[in-house]
C-alpha cells in the first residue's frame, strides 16, 4: 500500500509538471516525489530508497549511471563517515554519560536547571556528533531523571530541541549542513571555514537554547526533583577518546584560515575527520574493532547523502533548477530582508511535512539559481535555507530528533506542536535578524 501510494504520488507530479516542464525535467520531479513519499511513509528501508537514483535516473534519461554514482563518493560523505566512527567510540566508551554528568552538575537541581542542562548537553554533543546519534544517546537520561510525566515530556523535548539547535553549530552536526557544503563545492564556491561557521552560528544557538530553556520550564519550575545521575572518574578508554576529540578540535582550529592573518594549513576537513575516525582502530587507541563496530555505522544515512547530492546534480544537469528559478525570480522584486524572510518561512514550514535532508537537497539548487540570476548574496541565502531546514520543531517527521522523541513514549504530537510552533517562529526571527545584521557583513 505504501509503495503504491509513492508510485501514485510520483505519477501525479510527473503528469502535473508535464504542463510546465520538459519530459526529462518532469521525470525528475516524478522521481523526487516518489523518493520523498517513500522516505516519509517508510514504504521501503531508508537505504534502499536512497540507492534508487542509481537505478531510476539512468532509466528515465535524467543522469547516466556514472554521473549519478559519483555523487555517492562526495568528499563530504567521508567527512561524516569519520564523524560516525567518533560517535560510535563515544557511545562504546560511554563518554557521553560523563559529559552529561559534568554539565548537569553545573545547573541547579530544578526543572528549569535540568532543562537548560539537558538542552546544552545535547546541543554541545550534536555540534560534533550527528544530532540523530546524540538524541539516541541522551533520550534515556530524560526518562531516567524523573517519574513526573510532565517533566519527562519537557526533558525529552529539551534533548530533542537541543540536538537540532546544536546540530547547526558546526558544519558536521547535521546532514543539511553537509549537503550545503557539497553543493557549494559542486559550484566551486568558497566553503565556509570550520571556525568561521561556529563564529557565525554561535549567537543563534545561544538565543535558541535560552528560548527553549524558558519555554519548556514555564509553569513547572516549582515541581521538586531529585537527580539520579552518578558521578564517576574517567576510565582509560574514555580518556583516549576525549584526548582524540580535543586533538581533532585543535587541528581543525589550526587548519581554519583567519584571513588576512593566517591562511590555515590547507588540509581537507574530510580527510581530517576520516583520519581521526580511522585512528580509533589503531594503537595506541584500539577503541574500535572493525568486525564488531563497523556494523554500527549507519550506511543508510550515507546513502541518503548520496541521493541528496544526486538530486542536486540532476537539478542542475537537466536545467530544472534554472527553470524553477525563472518562476521564482519575481520574488527578487521584494527587498532583500523580505526575500530572506520568505525563504526562511518557506523552508521552515515545508520541512515539517517532509525530510529536512530531502527538502534541502531539492531547494538549495533552486535558491542558488535564483540568487545567481538576481545578483544577491548566494552564500547568505543558501545558509539561511540550510539552517531553517534543521529548525523545524513541530512534527515528528520534520527531523530525526523529533521522531526519536516521539518513539520514547514521553512526548505526544500535541505537545510537540504546542512548543514547536513557538520555536519555529522564534527560529525564523533569529535566523533572519542575524543574517541581515551580522552574516551579511561576513559572507
Other beta carbons less than 10 A from residue 44's beta carbon: 16
- Boundaries of every domain in the chain: 45-441
The tens digit of pLDDT for each residue in 111-137 reads 898 899 889 988 988 887 778 777 877
Quote the CA–CA distance of 320 and 359 in Å, as a whole number.
Answer: 15
Residue 180 scores a pLDDT above 70: yes
Peptide bond into 260 cis (omega under 30): yes
* Mean per-residue pLDDT over the chain, rounded: 85
The tens digit of pLDDT for each residue in 133-164 reads 778 777 877 777 777 888 889 999 999 999 99
- Helices (H) and strands (E) counted in the chain, each on its own, are 21, 0
CA distances from 220 to 114, 216, 223 (A): 12, 8, 6
- According to the model, what pLDDT value does residue 57 have? 96
Output 16-22 pairs: Cβ under 8 A, ≥24 positions apart: 21/320, 21/323, 22/318, 22/319
Q: b/e for 143-178, b at 16 or more Cβ within 10 A?
A: eebbeeeebbbbbbbbbbbbbbbbbbbbbbbbbbbb
- According to the model, what pLDDT value does residue 360 have? 85
- According to the model, what pLDDT value does residue 100 have? 66
**Nearest residue to 168 via CA among 117, 137, 124, 104:** 124
Residue 8 scores a pLDDT above 80: yes
- According to the model, what pLDDT value does residue 353 have? 66
Quote the CA–CA distance of 270 and 285 in Å, as a whole number.
Answer: 21
The tens digit of pLDDT for each residue in 315-334 reads 888 988 777 777 776 776 77
pLDDT band of 54, cuts 50, 70, 90: very high
- According to the model, what pLDDT value does residue 74 have? 83
Quote the CA–CA distance of 95 and 52 in Å, as a whole number.
Answer: 37
Q: b/e for 313-352, b at 16 or more Cβ within 10 A?
A: bbbbbbebbbbbbeebeeebeeebeebbbebbebbbbbbb
The tens digit of pLDDT for each residue in 384-426 reads 999 999 898 988 777 878 877 877 778 887 889 899 999 999 9
- According to the model, what pLDDT value does residue 230 have? 61
- According to the model, what pLDDT value does residue 227 have? 56
Higher pLDDT, 31 or 135: 31
3-state secondary structure of 262: strand
DSSP 230: P
23-41 and 356-374 are packed helices; what angle lies between their axes, rounded to 10 degrees?
150
Amino acid at each position: 500500500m505504501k509503495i503504491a501510494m509513492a508510485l501514485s504520488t510520483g505519477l501525479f507530479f510527473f503528469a502535473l509538471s508535464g504542463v510546465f516542464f520538459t519530459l526529462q525535467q518532469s521525470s525528475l520531479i516524478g522521481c523526487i516525489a516518489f523518493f520523498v513519499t517513500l522516505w516519509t511513509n517508510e514504504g521501503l528501508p531508508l537505504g534502499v530508497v536512497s540507492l534508487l537514483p542509481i537505478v531510476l535516473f539512468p532509466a528515465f534519461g535524467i543522469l547516466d549511471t556514472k554521473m549519478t554514482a559519483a555523487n555517492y563518493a562526495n568528499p563530504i560523505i567521508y567527512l561524516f563517515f569519520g564523524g560516525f566512527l567518533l560517535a560510535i567510540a563515544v557511545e562504546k566508551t560511554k563518554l557521553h554519560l560523563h559529559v552529561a554528568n559534568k554539565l548537569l552538575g553545573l545547573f541547579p537541581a530544578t526543572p528549569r536547571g535540568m532543562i537548560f542542562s539537558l538542552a546544552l548537553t545535547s546541543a554541545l554533543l550534536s555540534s560534533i556528533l550527528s544530532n540523530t546519534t546524540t538524541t539516541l544517546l541522551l533520550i534515556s537520561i530524560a526518562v531516567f531523571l524523573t517519574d513526573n510525566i510532565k517533566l519527562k515530556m519537557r526533558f525529552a523535548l529539551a534533548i530533542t530541541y537541543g540536538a537540532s539547535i546544536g546540530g547547526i553549530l558546526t558544519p558536521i552536526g547535521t546532514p543539511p549542513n553537509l549537503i550545503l557544503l557539497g553543493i557549494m563545492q559542486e559550484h566551486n564556491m568558497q566553503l565556509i571555514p570550520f571556525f568561521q561557521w561556529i563564529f557565525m552560528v554561535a549567537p543563534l544557538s545561544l538565543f535558541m537554547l535560552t528560548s527553549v530553556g524558558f519555554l519548556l520550564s514555564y509553569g513547572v519550575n516549582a515541581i521538586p526533583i531529585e537527580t539520579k545521575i552518578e558521578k564517576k572518574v574517567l576510565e582509560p578508554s574514555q580518556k583516549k577518546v576525549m584526548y582524540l576529540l580535543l586533538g581533532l578540535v585543535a587541528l581543525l582550529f589550526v587548519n581554519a584560515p583567519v584571513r588576512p592573518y593566517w591562511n590555515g594549513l590547507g588540509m581537507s576537513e574530510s580527510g581530517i575527520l576520516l583520519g581521526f575516525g580511522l585512528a580509533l582502530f589503531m594503537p595506541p587507541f584500539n577503541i574500535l574493532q572493525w568486525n564488531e563496530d563497523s556494523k554500527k555505522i549507519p550506511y543508510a544515512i550515507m546513502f541518503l547523502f548520496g541521493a541528496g547530492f544526486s538530486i542536486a546534480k540532476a537539478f542542475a544537469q537537466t536545467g530544472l533548477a534554472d527553470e524553477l528559478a525563472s518562476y521564482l525570480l519575481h520574488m527578487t522584486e521584494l527587498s532583500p530582508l523580505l526575500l530572506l524572510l520568505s525563504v526562511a518561512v518557506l523552508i521552515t514550514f515545508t520541512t515539517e511535512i517532509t525530510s529536512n535532508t530531502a527538502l534541502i537537497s531539492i531547494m538549495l539548487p533552486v535558491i542558488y539559481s535564483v540568487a545567481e540570476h538576481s545578483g544577491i548574496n548566494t552564500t547568505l541565502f543558501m545558509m539561511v535555507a540550510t539552517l531553517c531546514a534543521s529548525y523545524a520543531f513541530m512534527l515528528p517527521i520534520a527531523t530525526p530528533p523529533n521522531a526519536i522523541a516521539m518513539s520514547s513514549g514521553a512526548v505526544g504530537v500535541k505537545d510537540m506542536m504546542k512548543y514547536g510552533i513557538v520555536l519555529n517562529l522564534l527560529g525564523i526571527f533569529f535566523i533572519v535578524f542575524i543574517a541581515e545584521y551580522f552574516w551579511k557583513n561576513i559572507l
